[in-house]
A and B are shown apart, each in its own frame.
Chain A
Protein backbone atom coordinates (compact mmCIF):
# COMPACT_ATOMS: atom_id res chain seq x y z
CA UNK A 1 0.00 0.00 0.00
CA UNK A 2 1.21 3.44 -0.91
CA UNK A 3 -0.19 6.97 -0.47
CA UNK A 4 0.01 7.56 -4.21
CA UNK A 5 -2.53 4.76 -4.63
CA UNK A 6 -5.16 7.05 -3.06
CA UNK A 7 -4.20 9.76 -5.54
CA UNK A 8 -4.38 7.30 -8.44
CA UNK A 9 -7.85 6.28 -7.34
CA UNK A 10 -8.96 9.92 -7.19
CA UNK A 11 -7.53 10.47 -10.68
CA UNK A 12 -9.45 7.45 -11.98
CA UNK A 13 -12.68 8.40 -10.28
CA UNK A 14 -12.87 12.20 -10.56
CA UNK A 15 -9.58 13.39 -12.04
CA UNK A 16 -11.03 16.66 -13.35
CA UNK A 17 -12.86 17.82 -10.23
CA UNK A 18 -11.20 20.66 -8.31
CA UNK A 19 -10.23 19.24 -4.90
CA UNK A 20 -7.79 21.84 -3.57
CA UNK A 21 -8.46 25.59 -3.41
CA UNK A 22 -11.01 27.74 -5.18
CA UNK A 23 -13.11 26.37 -8.04
CA UNK A 24 -11.75 29.04 -10.40
CA UNK A 25 -8.06 28.25 -10.00
CA UNK A 26 -7.74 25.20 -7.75
CA UNK A 27 -6.04 21.86 -8.27
CA UNK A 28 -7.66 18.67 -9.56
CA UNK A 29 -6.38 15.20 -8.60
CA UNK A 30 -4.69 15.08 -12.02
CA UNK A 31 -2.96 18.42 -11.26
CA UNK A 32 -1.88 17.15 -7.86
CA UNK A 33 -0.34 14.01 -9.35
CA UNK A 34 1.42 15.90 -12.13
CA UNK A 35 2.91 18.33 -9.59
CA UNK A 36 3.74 15.59 -7.11
CA UNK A 37 5.76 13.77 -9.77
CA UNK A 38 7.58 17.01 -10.58
CA UNK A 39 8.22 17.58 -6.88
CA UNK A 40 9.61 14.06 -6.59
CA UNK A 41 12.01 14.81 -9.45
CA UNK A 42 13.15 17.92 -7.55
CA UNK A 43 13.69 15.86 -4.42
CA UNK A 44 15.72 13.29 -6.36
CA UNK A 45 17.84 15.99 -8.01
CA UNK A 46 18.72 17.31 -4.54
CA UNK A 47 19.28 13.76 -3.23
CA UNK A 48 16.93 14.77 -0.43
CA UNK A 49 16.18 12.16 2.23
CA UNK A 50 13.18 14.06 3.55
CA UNK A 51 10.93 16.92 2.59
CA UNK A 52 10.49 19.38 5.45
CA UNK A 53 7.39 21.55 5.34
CA UNK A 54 7.85 24.59 7.57
CA UNK A 55 5.05 26.88 6.44
CA UNK A 56 1.37 27.60 6.82
CA UNK A 57 -1.20 25.28 5.28
CA UNK A 58 -2.07 25.84 1.65
CA UNK A 59 -2.00 24.18 -1.80
CA UNK A 60 1.77 23.66 -1.46
CA UNK A 61 1.08 21.21 1.37
CA UNK A 62 -0.79 18.42 -0.46
CA UNK A 63 1.64 18.77 -3.36
CA UNK A 64 4.49 18.30 -0.87
CA UNK A 65 2.81 15.31 0.76
CA UNK A 66 2.41 13.42 -2.50
CA UNK A 67 5.77 14.58 -3.92
CA UNK A 68 7.49 13.04 -0.90
CA UNK A 69 5.45 9.86 -1.42
CA UNK A 70 6.41 9.65 -5.09
CA UNK A 71 10.08 10.15 -4.15
CA UNK A 72 9.88 7.55 -1.37
CA UNK A 73 11.02 9.99 1.32
CA UNK A 74 9.07 11.17 4.37
CA UNK A 75 7.21 14.45 4.51
CA UNK A 76 8.07 16.15 7.80
CA UNK A 77 5.68 19.02 8.60
CA UNK A 78 7.21 21.15 11.34
CA UNK A 79 5.64 23.87 13.45
CA UNK A 80 6.80 27.10 11.81
CA UNK A 81 6.10 29.03 15.02
CA UNK A 82 8.48 27.11 17.25
CA UNK A 83 11.20 29.04 19.00
CA UNK A 84 14.55 28.97 17.20
CA UNK A 85 16.11 26.49 19.61
CA UNK A 86 13.31 23.93 19.26
CA UNK A 87 13.01 24.44 15.52
CA UNK A 88 16.74 23.99 14.99
CA UNK A 89 16.66 20.83 17.09
CA UNK A 90 13.96 19.30 14.88
CA UNK A 91 15.64 20.44 11.67
CA UNK A 92 18.95 18.96 12.86
CA UNK A 93 17.24 15.55 12.85
CA UNK A 94 17.00 15.79 9.05
CA UNK A 95 20.38 16.77 7.63
CA UNK A 96 19.82 15.95 3.95
CA UNK A 97 16.43 17.47 3.45
CA UNK A 98 14.76 19.86 1.07
CA UNK A 99 12.72 22.50 2.86
CA UNK A 100 9.56 24.26 1.75
CA UNK A 101 9.11 27.34 3.87
CA UNK A 102 8.03 30.98 4.10
CA UNK A 103 10.18 33.63 2.35
CA UNK A 104 11.39 35.08 5.65
CA UNK A 105 12.76 31.69 6.76
CA UNK A 106 14.78 30.78 3.66
CA UNK A 107 17.94 32.51 4.89
CA UNK A 108 17.81 30.78 8.28
CA UNK A 109 17.46 27.38 6.61
CA UNK A 110 20.49 28.21 4.48
CA UNK A 111 22.52 28.96 7.61
CA UNK A 112 21.64 25.48 8.85
CA UNK A 113 22.95 24.00 5.58
CA UNK A 114 19.51 23.10 4.27
CA UNK A 115 18.28 23.80 0.74
CA UNK A 116 15.06 25.78 1.01
CA UNK A 117 12.36 26.85 -1.40
CA UNK A 118 9.51 29.22 -0.66
CA UNK A 119 5.98 27.83 -1.00
CA UNK A 120 5.59 29.96 -4.15
CA UNK A 121 8.83 28.57 -5.61
CA UNK A 122 7.67 25.08 -4.75
CA UNK A 123 4.34 25.65 -6.52
CA UNK A 124 5.90 27.24 -9.62
CA UNK A 125 8.69 24.64 -9.71
CA UNK A 126 6.20 21.78 -9.74
CA UNK A 127 3.93 23.32 -12.38
CA UNK A 128 5.40 21.35 -15.28
CA UNK A 129 4.21 18.63 -17.65
CA UNK A 130 3.39 15.22 -16.23
CA UNK A 131 6.40 12.90 -16.50
CA UNK A 132 4.13 9.93 -15.69
CA UNK A 133 6.82 8.39 -13.48
CA UNK A 134 6.06 5.62 -11.00
CA UNK A 135 6.34 6.12 -7.24
CA UNK A 136 9.37 4.81 -5.35
CA UNK A 137 8.60 2.07 -2.87
CA UNK A 138 11.09 2.44 -0.04
CA UNK A 139 11.33 1.53 3.64
CA UNK A 140 10.90 5.17 4.63
CA UNK A 141 7.73 6.28 6.45
CA UNK A 142 5.26 8.46 4.53
CA UNK A 143 5.03 11.17 7.20
CA UNK A 144 6.93 12.05 10.36
CA UNK A 145 5.06 14.20 12.87
CA UNK A 146 6.72 15.49 15.99
CA UNK A 147 4.61 15.31 19.13
CA UNK A 148 3.96 18.69 20.68
CA UNK A 149 6.19 17.79 23.60
CA UNK A 150 3.80 19.06 26.25
CA UNK A 151 5.52 16.82 28.81
CA UNK A 152 8.96 16.08 27.35
CA UNK A 153 11.24 16.50 24.32
CA UNK A 154 9.34 16.09 21.03
CA UNK A 155 9.33 12.57 19.60
CA UNK A 156 9.05 11.85 15.89
CA UNK A 157 6.03 9.64 15.19
CA UNK A 158 6.53 7.56 12.05
CA UNK A 159 3.38 7.12 9.99
CA UNK A 160 3.82 4.49 7.34
CA UNK A 161 1.99 4.26 4.04
CA UNK A 162 0.09 1.21 5.32
CA UNK A 163 -1.10 3.07 8.43
CA UNK A 164 -2.48 6.04 6.53
CA UNK A 165 -3.96 4.10 3.62
CA UNK A 166 -5.61 1.63 6.04
CA UNK A 167 -7.15 4.54 7.89
CA UNK A 168 -8.58 6.05 4.72
CA UNK A 169 -9.82 2.76 3.25
CA UNK A 170 -11.35 1.79 6.58
CA UNK A 171 -13.14 5.01 7.42
CA UNK A 172 -13.80 7.12 4.32
CA UNK A 173 -16.29 6.51 1.53
CA UNK A 174 -14.56 6.80 -1.84
CA UNK A 175 -16.10 9.55 -4.03
CA UNK A 176 -18.65 10.01 -1.23
CA UNK A 177 -18.73 13.83 -1.40
CA UNK A 178 -21.22 15.78 -3.50
CA UNK A 179 -19.92 17.83 -6.41
CA UNK A 180 -20.21 21.16 -4.56
CA UNK A 181 -19.01 20.01 -1.13
CA UNK A 182 -16.26 22.14 0.36
CA UNK A 183 -14.27 21.52 3.52
CA UNK A 184 -12.61 24.29 5.50
CA UNK A 185 -9.32 23.32 7.09
CA UNK A 186 -8.16 25.43 10.03
CA UNK A 187 -5.62 23.10 11.61
CA UNK A 188 -1.92 23.70 11.03
CA UNK A 189 -0.04 21.35 8.67
CA UNK A 190 2.06 19.72 11.40
CA UNK A 191 -1.05 18.36 13.15
CA UNK A 192 -2.20 14.82 12.35
CA UNK A 193 -5.67 16.16 11.55
CA UNK A 194 -4.18 18.19 8.69
CA UNK A 195 -2.59 15.05 7.23
CA UNK A 196 -5.86 13.14 7.59
CA UNK A 197 -7.72 16.09 6.10
CA UNK A 198 -5.71 16.02 2.88
CA UNK A 199 -6.17 12.28 2.44
CA UNK A 200 -9.80 11.89 3.54
CA UNK A 201 -11.08 14.83 1.55
CA UNK A 202 -9.15 13.83 -1.58
CA UNK A 203 -10.44 10.26 -1.30
CA UNK A 204 -14.03 11.40 -0.88
CA UNK A 205 -13.69 13.97 -3.68
CA UNK A 206 -14.34 16.94 -1.41
CA UNK A 207 -12.72 20.26 -2.22
CA UNK A 208 -10.62 21.72 0.59
CA UNK A 209 -10.05 25.35 1.46
CA UNK A 210 -7.51 26.55 3.96
CA UNK A 211 -7.75 29.23 6.59
CA UNK A 212 -4.15 30.17 7.30
CA UNK A 213 -4.64 32.27 10.39
CA UNK A 214 -7.66 31.51 12.48
CA UNK A 215 -9.91 34.26 13.78
CA UNK A 216 -13.63 33.68 14.43
CA UNK A 217 -14.60 36.46 11.98
CA UNK A 218 -12.37 35.09 9.21
CA UNK A 219 -13.69 31.59 9.77
CA UNK A 220 -17.34 32.64 9.74
CA UNK A 221 -16.80 34.88 6.72
CA UNK A 222 -15.08 32.17 4.72
CA UNK A 223 -17.76 29.59 5.59
CA UNK A 224 -20.42 31.96 4.23
CA UNK A 225 -18.49 33.32 1.21
CA UNK A 226 -17.27 29.94 -0.05
CA UNK A 227 -20.39 28.02 0.97
CA UNK A 228 -18.40 25.64 3.10
CA UNK A 229 -20.23 22.40 3.89
CA UNK A 230 -17.69 20.66 6.15
CA UNK A 231 -15.25 21.97 8.70
CA UNK A 232 -12.94 20.73 11.40
CA UNK A 233 -12.07 22.85 14.43
CA UNK A 234 -10.27 22.33 17.70
CA UNK A 235 -12.25 23.13 20.89
CA UNK A 236 -10.62 26.52 21.51
CA UNK A 237 -11.64 27.61 18.01
CA UNK A 238 -15.25 26.54 18.49
CA UNK A 239 -15.37 28.31 21.84
CA UNK A 240 -14.16 31.52 20.20
CA UNK A 241 -16.57 31.18 17.26
CA UNK A 242 -19.71 30.65 19.34
CA UNK A 243 -18.59 33.36 21.77
CA UNK A 244 -17.89 36.01 19.14
CA UNK A 245 -20.02 39.04 18.32
CA UNK A 246 -21.73 39.63 15.02
CA UNK A 247 -23.28 37.35 12.42
CA UNK A 248 -22.96 33.72 13.52
CA UNK A 249 -25.04 32.25 10.71
CA UNK A 250 -23.52 29.38 8.70
CA UNK A 251 -26.25 28.49 6.19
CA UNK A 252 -24.19 26.13 4.02
CA UNK A 253 -22.54 24.19 6.86
CA UNK A 254 -23.73 20.59 7.20
CA UNK A 255 -20.96 18.86 9.10
CA UNK A 256 -18.74 20.27 11.84
CA UNK A 257 -16.08 17.98 13.28
CA UNK A 258 -14.16 18.80 16.43
CA UNK A 259 -11.32 17.13 18.26
CA UNK A 260 -7.71 17.49 19.28
CA UNK A 261 -8.42 18.31 22.92
CA UNK A 262 -11.23 17.96 25.46
CA UNK A 263 -14.37 19.95 24.55
CA UNK A 264 -16.23 21.56 27.46
CA UNK A 265 -19.84 20.31 27.36
CA UNK A 266 -21.13 23.85 27.75
CA UNK A 267 -19.50 24.91 24.48
CA UNK A 268 -20.91 22.03 22.49
CA UNK A 269 -24.38 22.56 23.95
CA UNK A 270 -24.20 26.22 22.93
CA UNK A 271 -23.09 25.29 19.41
CA UNK A 272 -25.82 22.65 19.04
CA UNK A 273 -28.57 25.09 19.97
CA UNK A 274 -27.02 27.85 17.84
CA UNK A 275 -26.82 25.65 14.71
CA UNK A 276 -29.51 22.96 14.99
CA UNK A 277 -29.17 22.11 11.27
CA UNK A 278 -25.48 21.28 11.53
CA UNK A 279 -24.34 17.69 12.10
CA UNK A 280 -21.69 17.64 14.82
CA UNK A 281 -18.94 15.04 14.86
CA UNK A 282 -16.53 14.51 17.73
CA UNK A 283 -13.42 12.61 16.76
CA UNK A 284 -10.87 11.05 19.10
CA UNK A 285 -7.49 9.93 17.94
CA UNK A 286 -3.78 10.43 18.36
CA UNK A 287 -0.90 11.15 16.03
CA UNK A 288 0.23 7.58 16.74
CA UNK A 289 -3.09 6.18 15.50
CA UNK A 290 -3.12 8.06 12.16
CA UNK A 291 -5.96 10.28 13.39
CA UNK A 292 -9.50 9.19 14.31
CA UNK A 293 -10.19 5.95 16.19
CA UNK A 294 -13.57 6.83 17.74
CA UNK A 295 -16.41 8.98 16.45
CA UNK A 296 -19.49 10.57 18.01
CA UNK A 297 -21.73 11.29 15.03
CA UNK A 298 -24.52 13.81 14.35
CA UNK A 299 -27.32 11.41 15.39
CA UNK A 300 -25.49 10.62 18.65
CA UNK A 301 -25.25 14.34 19.41
CA UNK A 302 -28.95 14.94 18.77
CA UNK A 303 -30.03 11.86 20.74
CA UNK A 304 -27.89 12.91 23.69
CA UNK A 305 -29.15 16.49 23.67
CA UNK A 306 -32.80 15.38 23.49
CA UNK A 307 -32.58 12.65 26.13
CA UNK A 308 -33.83 12.75 29.72
CA UNK A 309 -31.79 9.65 30.52
CA UNK A 310 -28.63 10.92 32.28
CA UNK A 311 -26.57 8.07 30.78
CA UNK A 312 -27.58 9.03 27.23
CA UNK A 313 -27.28 12.73 27.95
CA UNK A 314 -23.74 12.18 29.24
CA UNK A 315 -22.70 10.93 25.80
CA UNK A 316 -22.44 14.52 24.65
CA UNK A 317 -19.20 14.43 26.62
CA UNK A 318 -18.03 11.16 25.06
CA UNK A 319 -16.02 10.57 21.92
CA UNK A 320 -18.54 8.09 20.58
CA UNK A 321 -18.01 4.58 19.33
CA UNK A 322 -14.75 2.99 18.28
CA UNK A 323 -14.19 2.45 14.53
CA UNK A 324 -15.00 -1.12 13.41
CA UNK A 325 -11.40 -1.51 12.21
CA UNK A 326 -9.97 -0.80 15.68
CA UNK A 327 -9.70 -3.15 18.67
CA UNK A 328 -9.86 -1.28 21.96
CA UNK A 329 -9.28 -2.44 25.53
CA UNK A 330 -9.52 -0.57 28.81
CA UNK A 331 -6.82 -1.94 31.10
CA UNK A 332 -5.80 -1.67 34.73
CA UNK A 333 -2.20 -0.99 35.86
CA UNK A 334 -1.46 -4.73 35.65
CA UNK A 335 -2.66 -4.91 32.03
CA UNK A 336 -5.83 -6.81 32.94
CA UNK A 337 -8.82 -5.88 30.79
CA UNK A 338 -11.40 -3.95 32.83
CA UNK A 339 -15.18 -4.40 32.63
CA UNK A 340 -17.60 -1.87 31.12
CA UNK A 341 -17.77 1.32 33.12
CA UNK A 342 -14.37 1.01 34.79
CA UNK A 343 -11.75 3.67 34.17
CA UNK A 344 -8.37 2.52 32.94
CA UNK A 345 -5.75 3.01 30.27
CA UNK A 346 -7.01 3.03 26.69
CA UNK A 347 -5.10 0.50 24.57
CA UNK A 348 -5.71 0.08 20.85
CA UNK A 349 -4.74 -2.15 17.95
CA UNK A 350 -5.36 -1.89 14.21
CA UNK A 351 -3.67 -1.40 10.86
CA UNK A 352 -3.85 2.38 11.17
CA UNK A 353 -2.01 2.30 14.52
CA UNK A 354 1.63 3.20 13.92
CA UNK A 355 2.82 3.51 17.53
CA UNK A 356 6.29 3.88 16.06
CA UNK A 357 8.84 6.49 17.07
CA UNK A 358 12.03 7.65 15.37
CA UNK A 359 15.03 6.06 17.04
CA UNK A 360 12.85 4.06 19.43
CA UNK A 361 10.77 1.59 17.41
CA UNK A 362 7.23 0.34 17.84
CA UNK A 363 5.69 0.70 21.27
CA UNK A 364 3.22 -2.18 21.25
CA UNK A 365 2.77 -5.23 23.48
CA UNK A 366 3.03 -8.84 22.34
CA UNK A 367 -0.58 -8.78 21.15
CA UNK A 368 0.01 -5.65 19.09
CA UNK A 369 -1.76 -3.19 21.40
CA UNK A 370 -0.56 0.38 21.80
CA UNK A 371 -1.01 2.09 25.15
CA UNK A 372 -2.36 5.59 24.37
CA UNK A 373 -1.64 6.71 27.97
CA UNK A 374 -5.07 8.28 27.88
CA UNK A 375 -7.48 7.26 30.62
CA UNK A 376 -11.06 6.42 29.87
CA UNK A 377 -13.96 4.00 30.01
CA UNK A 378 -16.67 2.51 27.80
CA UNK A 379 -20.34 2.73 28.70
CA UNK A 380 -22.86 -0.10 28.19
CA UNK A 381 -23.39 0.74 24.53
CA UNK A 382 -19.71 1.12 23.74
CA UNK A 383 -19.40 4.90 23.94
CA UNK A 384 -15.88 5.93 24.85
CA UNK A 385 -15.30 8.56 27.53
CA UNK A 386 -11.85 10.12 27.85
CA UNK A 387 -10.58 11.17 31.27
CA UNK A 388 -7.23 12.83 30.60
CA UNK A 389 -3.65 11.59 30.40
CA UNK A 390 -2.31 8.91 32.72
CA UNK A 391 0.79 11.10 33.18
CA UNK A 392 -1.34 13.98 34.46
CA UNK A 393 -2.71 11.97 37.37
CA UNK A 394 -2.24 13.73 40.70
CA UNK A 395 -1.29 11.52 43.62
CA UNK A 396 -2.38 13.26 46.79
CA UNK A 397 -1.73 11.39 50.01
CA UNK A 398 -1.73 8.08 48.12
CA UNK A 399 -5.02 8.80 46.34
CA UNK A 400 -5.00 8.93 42.53
CA UNK A 401 -6.90 11.95 41.28
CA UNK A 402 -7.71 12.70 37.66
CA UNK A 403 -7.48 16.45 36.91
CA UNK A 404 -10.22 16.07 34.27
CA UNK A 405 -12.82 15.24 36.91
CA UNK A 406 -12.13 18.41 38.86
CA UNK A 407 -11.78 20.48 35.68
CA UNK A 408 -15.25 19.42 34.55
CA UNK A 409 -16.76 20.65 37.81
CA UNK A 410 -14.87 23.95 37.60
CA UNK A 411 -16.02 24.48 34.01
CA UNK A 412 -19.62 23.99 35.10
CA UNK A 413 -19.35 27.14 37.20
CA UNK A 414 -20.84 30.16 35.50
CA UNK A 415 -17.83 32.41 36.17
CA UNK A 416 -15.22 30.02 34.74
CA UNK A 417 -14.11 30.22 31.12
CA UNK A 418 -11.07 27.95 31.18
CA UNK A 419 -9.20 26.00 33.83
CA UNK A 420 -6.40 23.56 34.54
CA UNK A 421 -5.88 21.40 37.59
CA UNK A 422 -2.36 20.25 38.38
CA UNK A 423 -0.39 18.54 41.12
CA UNK A 424 2.15 20.68 42.95
CA UNK A 425 4.90 19.11 45.08
CA UNK A 426 3.91 19.16 48.74
CA UNK A 427 5.90 18.06 51.82
CA UNK A 428 2.89 16.66 53.61
CA UNK A 429 0.76 15.14 50.83
CA UNK A 430 3.35 14.30 48.20
CA UNK A 431 1.30 16.41 45.83
CA UNK A 432 -1.40 18.95 46.55
CA UNK A 433 -4.09 20.02 44.11
CA UNK A 434 -3.94 23.50 42.65
CA UNK A 435 -6.05 25.03 39.94
CA UNK A 436 -5.50 27.83 37.48
CA UNK A 437 -8.73 29.44 36.27
CA UNK A 438 -9.67 32.09 33.75
CA UNK A 439 -12.82 34.16 34.28
CA UNK A 440 -15.48 34.48 31.62
CA UNK A 441 -15.59 37.94 30.05
CA UNK A 442 -17.34 40.39 32.37
CA UNK A 443 -17.14 38.09 35.41
CA UNK A 444 -14.85 37.90 38.38
CA UNK A 445 -13.87 34.78 40.24
CA UNK A 446 -13.85 34.44 44.01
CA UNK A 447 -11.39 31.56 44.61
CA UNK A 448 -12.89 30.62 47.97
CA UNK A 449 -16.42 30.51 46.59
CA UNK A 450 -15.21 28.39 43.69
CA UNK A 451 -13.56 25.95 46.11
CA UNK A 452 -16.94 25.61 47.85
CA UNK A 453 -18.53 24.86 44.47
CA UNK A 454 -16.08 21.99 43.90
CA UNK A 455 -16.57 20.69 47.44
CA UNK A 456 -20.33 20.55 46.84
CA UNK A 457 -19.82 18.26 43.85
CA UNK A 458 -16.73 16.30 44.84
CA UNK A 459 -15.14 15.17 48.07
CA UNK A 460 -12.94 17.47 50.10
CA UNK A 461 -9.83 15.51 49.09
CA UNK A 462 -10.56 16.47 45.49
CA UNK A 463 -11.06 20.15 46.20
CA UNK A 464 -8.12 22.25 45.02
CA UNK A 465 -6.01 23.47 47.92
CA UNK A 466 -5.46 26.72 46.07
CA UNK A 467 -7.10 28.38 43.10
CA UNK A 468 -5.19 30.94 41.05
CA UNK A 469 -6.99 33.36 38.74
CA UNK A 470 -5.07 34.00 35.52
CA UNK A 471 -5.60 35.97 32.31
CA UNK A 472 -5.07 32.93 30.11
CA UNK A 473 -3.72 29.38 30.22
CA UNK A 474 -0.73 28.08 28.30
CA UNK A 475 -2.12 26.14 25.35
CA UNK A 476 -0.64 25.00 22.07
CA UNK A 477 -2.07 26.47 18.88
CA UNK A 478 -4.38 23.50 18.58
CA UNK A 479 -5.76 24.01 22.05
CA UNK A 480 -3.81 21.39 23.94
CA UNK A 481 -3.06 22.40 27.51
CA UNK A 482 0.66 22.55 28.37
CA UNK A 483 0.44 21.38 31.98
CA UNK A 484 4.07 21.76 32.92
CA UNK A 485 3.77 25.45 32.05
CA UNK A 486 0.66 25.71 34.24
CA UNK A 487 2.75 24.38 37.12
CA UNK A 488 5.45 26.97 36.37
CA UNK A 489 2.89 29.76 36.11
CA UNK A 490 1.38 28.75 39.45
CA UNK A 491 4.81 28.69 41.08
CA UNK A 492 5.53 32.17 39.73
CA UNK A 493 2.17 33.48 40.91
CA UNK A 494 2.81 31.98 44.35
CA UNK A 495 6.20 33.69 44.57
CA UNK A 496 4.59 37.05 43.95
CA UNK A 497 2.06 36.37 46.71
CA UNK A 498 4.71 35.14 49.14
CA UNK A 499 6.96 38.15 48.43
Chain B
Protein backbone atom coordinates (compact mmCIF):
# COMPACT_ATOMS: atom_id res chain seq x y z
CA UNK B 1 0.00 0.00 0.00
CA UNK B 2 0.93 3.64 -0.33
CA UNK B 3 1.36 5.28 3.04
CA UNK B 4 -0.14 8.69 3.69
CA UNK B 5 0.85 10.85 6.63
CA UNK B 6 -1.79 10.95 9.33
CA UNK B 7 -3.33 7.60 8.34
CA UNK B 8 -4.25 5.22 11.17
CA UNK B 9 -3.52 1.54 10.55
CA UNK B 10 -4.41 -1.40 12.76
CA UNK B 11 -2.65 -4.67 13.55
CA UNK B 12 -4.51 -7.88 12.73
CA UNK B 13 -2.81 -9.47 15.75
CA UNK B 14 -4.77 -7.62 18.39
CA UNK B 15 -6.08 -4.30 17.07
CA UNK B 16 -3.02 -2.26 18.09
CA UNK B 17 -2.90 0.97 16.09
CA UNK B 18 -0.20 3.13 14.58
CA UNK B 19 -0.30 6.49 12.82
CA UNK B 20 1.91 7.23 9.84
CA UNK B 21 4.10 10.19 10.80
CA UNK B 22 6.57 10.04 7.89
CA UNK B 23 6.19 8.23 4.59
CA UNK B 24 7.75 7.72 1.16
CA UNK B 25 5.98 7.62 -2.18
CA UNK B 26 6.95 3.99 -2.61
CA UNK B 27 4.44 1.15 -2.47
CA UNK B 28 5.27 -0.84 0.67
CA UNK B 29 3.90 -3.78 2.60
CA UNK B 30 3.47 -2.93 6.27
CA UNK B 31 2.93 -5.80 8.66
CA UNK B 32 2.55 -6.56 12.35
CA UNK B 33 3.32 -10.08 13.54
CA UNK B 34 3.67 -10.96 9.87
CA UNK B 35 0.09 -9.94 9.03
CA UNK B 36 -0.68 -6.93 6.84
CA UNK B 37 -1.85 -3.79 8.62
CA UNK B 38 -5.33 -2.67 7.63
CA UNK B 39 -7.50 0.43 7.74
CA UNK B 40 -9.76 -0.13 10.77
CA UNK B 41 -12.35 2.31 9.40
CA UNK B 42 -12.96 0.68 6.05
CA UNK B 43 -11.39 -2.79 6.00
CA UNK B 44 -11.74 -6.11 7.75
CA UNK B 45 -8.59 -7.52 9.35
CA UNK B 46 -6.80 -10.02 7.11
CA UNK B 47 -7.25 -13.68 8.03
CA UNK B 48 -4.38 -15.85 9.29
CA UNK B 49 -2.32 -16.46 12.39
CA UNK B 50 0.54 -14.22 13.44
CA UNK B 51 4.08 -15.50 13.12
CA UNK B 52 5.19 -16.36 16.70
CA UNK B 53 8.71 -15.18 15.78
CA UNK B 54 7.33 -11.71 15.11
CA UNK B 55 5.69 -10.86 18.40
CA UNK B 56 8.23 -8.40 19.78
CA UNK B 57 5.57 -5.89 20.78
CA UNK B 58 4.53 -2.36 19.90
CA UNK B 59 4.71 0.20 22.72
CA UNK B 60 2.31 3.11 23.03
CA UNK B 61 3.78 6.50 22.26
CA UNK B 62 6.90 5.03 20.71
CA UNK B 63 8.01 5.78 17.18
CA UNK B 64 9.19 3.04 14.84
CA UNK B 65 11.42 3.63 11.83
CA UNK B 66 12.85 1.57 8.97
CA UNK B 67 16.58 1.29 8.27
CA UNK B 68 16.34 3.80 5.41
CA UNK B 69 14.79 6.20 7.96
CA UNK B 70 12.11 7.39 5.56
CA UNK B 71 9.08 5.79 7.19
CA UNK B 72 8.00 6.50 10.76
CA UNK B 73 5.02 4.97 12.56
CA UNK B 74 3.79 6.22 15.93
CA UNK B 75 2.02 3.64 18.08
CA UNK B 76 -1.26 4.96 19.49
CA UNK B 77 -2.55 1.69 20.94
CA UNK B 78 -0.13 -0.96 22.21
CA UNK B 79 -0.01 -4.56 21.03
CA UNK B 80 2.04 -7.72 20.67
CA UNK B 81 3.12 -7.67 17.02
CA UNK B 82 6.49 -6.62 15.61
CA UNK B 83 6.08 -3.89 12.99
CA UNK B 84 7.83 -4.48 9.68
CA UNK B 85 8.03 -2.99 6.20
CA UNK B 86 8.63 -5.33 3.25
CA UNK B 87 9.79 -7.97 5.73
CA UNK B 88 12.30 -5.70 7.47
CA UNK B 89 11.51 -5.24 11.17
CA UNK B 90 11.19 -1.63 12.28
CA UNK B 91 13.27 -0.35 15.15
CA UNK B 92 12.49 2.04 17.98
CA UNK B 93 13.54 5.56 17.16
CA UNK B 94 15.74 6.59 20.01
CA UNK B 95 14.93 10.25 20.46
CA UNK B 96 15.25 12.07 23.73
CA UNK B 97 11.93 13.80 24.30
CA UNK B 98 12.03 17.57 24.54
CA UNK B 99 11.02 19.11 27.85
CA UNK B 100 7.40 20.23 27.91
CA UNK B 101 7.39 23.86 26.87
CA UNK B 102 3.66 24.51 26.76
Q: Please judge, given known A-B contacts A165-B6, A173-B61, A176-B61, whether A204 and B74 are in contact too, CB under 8 Å.
A: no
Q: How far is the CA of A373 from the CA of B48 in the complex (A)?
A: 59
User: Which chain B residues border A318 with CB–CB below 8 Å?
Assistant: none
Contact B77 A292 (CB under 8 A): no
Q: Of the candidates A8, A13, A279, A292, which one forms a contact with B102 in the assembled complex, judged by CB atoms under 8 Å apart?
A: A292
B76 at the interface (CB under 8 A from A): yes
Given A12-B17, A165-B6: A175 and B98 within 8 A (CB)?
no
Is there contact, CB below 8 Å, between B102 and A297? Answer: no
Contact B6 A1 (CB under 8 A): yes
Smallest CB-CB separation from A194: which chain B residue?
B102
From known contacts A8-B8, A165-B6, A174-B74, infer whether A13 and B61 are also in contact, taking CB-CB under 8 Å: yes
Interface size class of A (residues with CB under 8 A): 35 or more
Contact in complex: B101, A175 (CB < 8 Å): no
On whether the beta carbons of B6 and A174 are closer than 8 Å, the reply is no
Least CB distance from B97 to A in Å reads 4
What's the least CB distance linking B63 to chain A, in Å?
Answer: 8
Q: How far is the CB of A11 from chain B (nearest CB, A)?
A: 9
The reply on A323 being an interface residue by CB < 8 A is yes
Kindly state the interface size class of chain B when it binds its partner.
Answer: 10 to 19
Is A281 touching B60 in the complex (CB atoms < 8 A)? no
A420 at the interface (CB under 8 A from B): no
Instruction: Give, as a whole number of angstroms, the nearest-CB distance from A159 to chain B.
Output: 14
Q: Pick the residue among A8, A169, A283 that contacts B21 (CB under 8 A).
A: A169
| Of A169, A171, A283, A323, the contact of B74 (CB 8 Å cutoff) | A169
B98 / chain A contacts, CB cutoff of 8 Å: 171-172, 295, 297, 323
Instruction: Kindly state the separation between the CA atoms of A204 and B75 in the bound complex, as whole angstroms.
Output: 13
**Do the beta carbons of B77 and A13 come within 8 Å of each other?**
yes
Chain B residue nearest to A255 (CB atoms) is B100
B91 to chain A, nearest CB (A): 17
A193 to B19, CA, bound (A): 25
**For the complex, what is the distance from the CA of A255 to the CA of B102, rounded to whole Å?**
10
Contact A283 B101 (CB under 8 A): yes
Q: Which residues of A contact B75 (CB under 8 A)?
A: 174
Is A74 among interface residues, defined by CB-CB distance under 8 A? no
CA gap between A140 and B97 in the complex, in Å: 31
Q: Inside 8 A of B101's CB, which chain A residues have their CB?
A: 171, 200, 232, 257, 259, 281, 283, 291-292, 295
Q: Once the chains are docked, how many angstroms separate the CA of A8 from the CA of B17?
A: 11
* Chain A neighbourhood of B99, CB < 8 A: 255, 257, 279, 281, 295, 297-298
The 8 closest A-B pairs by CB, nearest first: A283-B101, A175-B61, A173-B97, A196-B102, A174-B61, A12-B76, A297-B99, A9-B76
The contact sample of 22 A-B pairs, CB cut-off 8 A, is: A5-B19, A8-B76, A9-B19, A13-B76, A13-B77, A165-B6, A171-B98, A171-B101, A172-B100, A173-B61, A173-B97, A174-B60, A175-B60, A175-B61, A197-B102, A200-B101, A232-B101, A232-B102, A255-B100, A281-B100, A283-B101, A283-B102
